Amino acid sequence: MSQPDYTITQLISAKSIAARIEELAQEIQEQFKGTDKLIVVGLLRGSFVFIADLVRELNLPVEVDFLEASSYGDGTESSKEVRILKDLRGEISGRDVLVVEDIVDTGFTLSHVVNLLSTRNPKNIKTIALLDKPSRREVEIKATWTGFEIPDEFVVGYGIDYAQRNRNLPFIGCVEFNTKS
């Protein structure tokens, strides 16, 4: 098996992520207290680790559903064309909805998903992103809650991948591509 042509440097530790998720869960519980059921919509694939840890911290009745949207493929730059690869299984009409995103970069994916889900008449729709790169924003959107604001670095770990690798890292790491001389 060949070695990858990049190195990874830790940016955010697993311990910092866990602590921040506890804080976010408290804020979300306050926002949605009294809900009969919160529909937590994870954007696949990058949010699956985040959503699992987040819902375990929520002391609310929750239903988890997933939507898969893609604007990257195997590249490191957004194509700006958002495709829905897997839609929700359940109904969200009249329900409280929390959209869980791994990272808001250009904003195209989150904006597209929020607009799409808004047409389905949810009672309330809020968003949460583990990571935010505001310096890369091309579409005006901001998550209701954000775990960490990060610099314009290509990151992996904690569910986030590069060409389907490194999702299993327990931390967020910056990718540095090796240049051949």
Q: Which residues are catalytic?
A: 105
Dihedral over Cα of 36, 102, 68, 109: its sign? positive
In three state form, how does the secondary structure of the chain look? CCCCCEEEEEEECHHHHHHHHHHHHHHHHHHCCCCCCEEEEEEECCCHHHHHHHHHHCCCCEEEEEEEEECCCCCCCCCCCCEEEECCCCCCCCCEEEEEEEEECCCHHHHHHHHHHHCCCCCEEEEEEEEECHHHCCCCCCCCEEEEECCCCCEEECCECECCECCCCCCEEEEEECCCC
Q: How far is CA 32 from the centre of its chain?
A: 19
Which residue in this structure is represented by tokens 């314009």?
152
